[in-house]
Structure 1
Amino acid sequence: MKLFLETSAQADVGTSQDGDLSAAARKFSGVSSAHFLRLVEERGTTGFWTCDLATGQSSVSPGLLRVMGVETPQPFAIMDLINQVHPDDRLRCEDLWPLIRSGVPVNRSFRIIRGDRTVRWVEFRSEVVLDAEQRPARVIGLLQDVSQDHENRQALEESLGRYRALVGAVAAMEWRATASGEPVFSQGWTVLTGQREADVLNGSWVEAIHPEDRQAVIAAWKNAVSNLTPYEAYHRIRMTNGDYEWFLARAVPMLHSGRLHEWLGILIRQRGLKGIDPVNASADSLLTPMQIRAGRAMLQWTLEDLSQHSGVSISSIRRIEAEGERATRPASLNAIRQAFELEGLIFSDGNGVALQRAEGRRL
């Protein structure tokens, strides 16, 4: 251990006699690299080593022995470390010493079995120092315990895996938008609609929305972006084959340090929502024109308010509220009912409608 630290200190003195290195040495006057090595090693996760390629003589820092789980100082060779590599990672480390001797820098991560029989993930790094004739003369390196980083990465990968599986099971696609409300191109959108990246710029993505639904979709999205409120719209999308399918679009603002960073949303095919197909919705689940008018009155909603919450166009709501138009568009009626129910309205047979508070008391 003393040999390693002394070598480092002597190297500082020698390099301080040349050019810019001399200025660097004067800047840290009275402080050798050994001081910096001790400062780094106090964390207990990093160790250093050096090896003379001609003689094979090696020296290590106390920190390296701690990383390897060796309690008492002992002669060290690179092969000692390789012998502690986990059996499942041996193939990844068989060429370490040949590469080092040939002058190739190495950067590998693998598991080792420490002296106390525990397994740790480590990062092995080395650099080769050339002699005056530009031949590999000495190798220096470090060994760092990265078990915590590896565990964090694994936990993150598992979390992302669960998230993707959940989204894949529920939604047709995930989508994002900038803080200003500009949707970000998604390959999933291209698969659904055939629109390419250039086709969705400057708000052109709405061209894939059914003409009767566009006004409500645009209004609902602008309202969400302006007020930083969750976005929800129920509308039809033109598929690659030219047919329209119903989707529920939802998005929430993602805040970082209290500031809007982006929007994250999903598209859910209609039949994946509570198992209800608006096109084939049961008549029992639909609302009467009187219930719709009463619901708007109880919530003090204008036609524009109901359009924003349901994704149904204002012109369609006017037609539906007209007597005799009860079953004109079952899908739109179902969307309106869902918008009302989210606000606490409950419906009964006939023309019954009531407003229920969060604690369960009817008004």
Structure 2
Amino acid sequence: MVMSSDDPGSQEAFRLLEKKTEAGVWSLDFTTRKMAWSSGFYELLGLASGSVEPSYEAIIELMHPDDRRPSGEFDRIVREGLPLDREFRIIRPNGKLRWLSNRSEVNLDKTGKPVRAYGVLLDVTPQREMALAREASDSRFRALVTATGAFIWTADAEGRILDIRNWRELRGQNPTDILGSRWIDLVHPDDRAHTMQAWTDALVTKREYSVEHRIEQPDGEYRWMMSRAAPILFESGTVREWVGISTDIQDRKVWPTTIDTEKAVLTGAQLRSARGVLNWSVRELSLAAAVSSSTIRRLEEMDGPPPGREDSLAPLQAALEAAGVEFLFPPTGKPGVRPR
């Protein structure tokens, strides 16, 4: 059989169910090691129904090399009657990659010996792609936070700090010591009044919070920080929580307001970092600045500034700054980049 039924109506209903759920059914006889596949199973593999003899080896031929089991593993599974539940990728004959999820059940005889296995194969590609996209987004977010040295925090509707997710990583301290309302103790005494006033006003008006203040460091010194937060609202309009970010602005506060223009030349490293902050591709920057992609790539190949005059740097800098990036040119050390 290819997975059949004597009732044509049942066959049609089964076939419709497979199509609507993007599923396929299979069975395996442990004694003969013969498999049977439904039409839906063939379709999931990208094969015409009945075009190949159902077998584990035929599945392996289409399976992504990184997902194939070690040699002899299938024999052990058959011998011990183990379930075949897993997710794996297959590369269809047309070259398209799909994620498939297999769920199975093993039937035993009276002595407990495995006799037959039945399973269903589901196409889970959309779910896997969404998960991978979230993972990529989270990775970019973590990289951005690490690169900027910013603290990400959440507070409840009343303004009590619930968590600072990277406090321990950046300061080597336990964040529980400053949760609730105890964080104010880290603010410089001269900055506490206007900090609390700004926070109170934001809580009352449900508007964005923004304040510059000095925060005590582990060594006892103070550094200037810019703290911003925005409310997350329920559909009713009440505040569910606040999400905030505190960014170090010490250099901006203490560096000279005038910069030697000879030294304030964008570097290739700054261009690469700025695109990373904005999550822009070379093409997106090219369109925003009206500068060719080849020119951008050439400039980004250099960690430092270009050796000669480069007229394309001005529109590139303007486009990136307009999108929310700030370029830093310290009196000493390497030029940098951060979100504005």
Shorter-chain TM-score bucket reads: 0.5 to 0.7
Alignment correspondent of 2:131: 153
Q: Say which of 253, 256, 265 aligns to 1:277.
A: 253
User: So what's the TM-score if we normalise by structure 2?
Assistant: 0.65
Is the CA contact (8 Å cut-off) linking 1:122 and 1:147 kept in structure 2?
Answer: yes
Alignment correspondent of 2:106: 128
- Cα RMSD (Å) of the superposition? 3.0
Is the CA contact (8 Å cut-off) linking 1:4 and 1:50 kept in structure 2?
Answer: no
The alpha carbon displacement at 1:67 in A equals: 0.4
Q: Tell me, which stretches of 5 or more residues in structure 2 are unaligned?
A: 259-340
Summarize the Cα distance change of 1:51–1:91 in structure 2 as closer, same or farther, 3 Å threshold: closer
Q: Say which of 56, 62, 75 aligns to 2:33.
A: 56
The alpha carbon displacement at 1:39 in A equals: 4.8
Alignment correspondent of 1:83: 61
Alignment correspondent of 1:336: none
Is the CA contact (8 Å cut-off) linking 1:4 and 1:59 kept in structure 2?
Answer: no
The alpha carbon displacement at 1:59 in A equals: 1.9
1:237-285: per-residue Cα shift (whole Å, max 9, x none)?
11111111111111112235465332221111113xxx6224x5559xx
Matches for 1:1-363 after TM superposition, within 5 Å:
3-5=3-5, 37-43=14-20, 45-73=22-50, 74-91=52-69, 95-186=73-164, 188-190=166-168, 196-255=174-233, 257=235, 259=237, 260-271=239-250, 276-278=252-254, 282=257
The alpha carbon displacement at 1:169 in A equals: 3.0
User: For the pair shown, which has the larger CA radius of gyration, 1 or 2?
Assistant: 1
Q: Which amino acid aligns with 2:120?
A: L
Distance 2:100 2:48 in 1: 18
- Secondary structure of the residue that 2:197 maps to in structure 1? helix
Q: Which amino acid aligns with 2:47?
A: V
Alignment correspondent of 2:264: none
The alpha carbon displacement at 1:49 in A equals: 0.5
Summarize the Cα distance change of 1:44–1:185 in structure 2 as closer, same or farther, 3 Å threshold: closer
User: So what's the TM-score if we normalise by structure 1?
Assistant: 0.61
The alpha carbon displacement at 1:115 in A equals: 3.7
The alpha carbon displacement at 1:234 in A equals: 0.9
More moved, 218-227 vs 70-79: 70-79
The percent identity for this pair of structures is: 33
Summarize the Cα distance change of 1:192–1:78 in structure 2 as closer, same or farther, 3 Å threshold: closer
- Secondary structure of the residue that 2:177 maps to in structure 1? helix
Is the CA contact (8 Å cut-off) linking 1:100 and 1:128 kept in structure 2?
Answer: no
Summarize the Cα distance change of 1:238–1:168 in structure 2 as closer, same or farther, 3 Å threshold: same
Is the CA contact (8 Å cut-off) linking 1:82 and 1:93 kept in structure 2?
Answer: no
Q: Which amino acid aligns with 1:264?
A: V
Distance 1:45 1:112 in 2: 15
Q: Which amino acid aligns with 1:45?
A: E
The alpha carbon displacement at 1:151 in A equals: 2.2
Query: Which one has a larger percent helix, Structure 1 or Structure 2?
Result: 1
